[in-house]
Amino acid sequence: MSQTAVAEAREAPVEADLAFDRLYRSSRDDVYAYVASLLHDGPAAEEVTATAFERAYRKRGRFDPTKGEPRAWLFGIARNAALDELRRRGRQAEMAAEPEDVGATAVDASAEQSEQRLALRAGLAQMAPRERELIALKFFAGLDNAEIASVLDISESNAGTRLHRAVTKLREALDGQI
């Protein structure tokens, strides 16, 4: 083996580790928010987030960039880890009635913000679990439609259509309340 080949073989794992580190740093808060919105349990969301990153790290060599973006791949792993946790608890694979607002501080919230949050929770409670998940992927995780499609294993146009319907349904539920 030539010295160039040996040097390249040594650099590949380092580059993969650096890429994973960048993915972790740019996604950890969003992954936690997404998982917390599914589980509605902060401590469990922390454990599941850690599990998702551990799984992703172990599988980082199997990531195929031709199949999608690393962020969507990561959210797919996080989704599966959250569903595993729900099954472990003996629950049906059903999402919590309301996404947890992990950034909210009840002490600092104004009365208007509190009313808006209550209205939003009530609107989300009227939605099906899959619709709530779409809302969580879009607005908690910040994924675009292509990434949502990759996480849910559906076409991008299907993801866009489902998301549009879910947002429309949420708007109708909130009409006049916010």
Question: Per-residue b/e over 117-140, b at no fewer than 16 CB within 10 Å?
Answer: beebeebbeebeeebbbbbbbbbb
pTM listed for this prediction: 0.66
* CATH at 59: 1.10.1740.10
Give the Å distances, CA to CA, from 71 to 49, 50, 87, 119, 146: 14, 15, 24, 31, 11
Structure confidence at residue 46 (pLDDT): 96
| Residue 175 to residue 4: CA distance in whole angstroms | 65
- Of 68, 69, 66, 64, the residue nearest 22 (C-alpha): 69
Percent share of the chain, pLDDT over 70: 79
Percent share of the chain, pLDDT over 90: 35
Number of domains forming the structure of the chain: 1
pLDDT in tens, 85-131: 988 877 444 454 445 555 555 445 467 777 777 788 788 888 888 89
Question: Which residue ranges of the chain lie beneath pLDDT 50?
Answer: 5-11, 91-94, 96-98, 106-107, 109
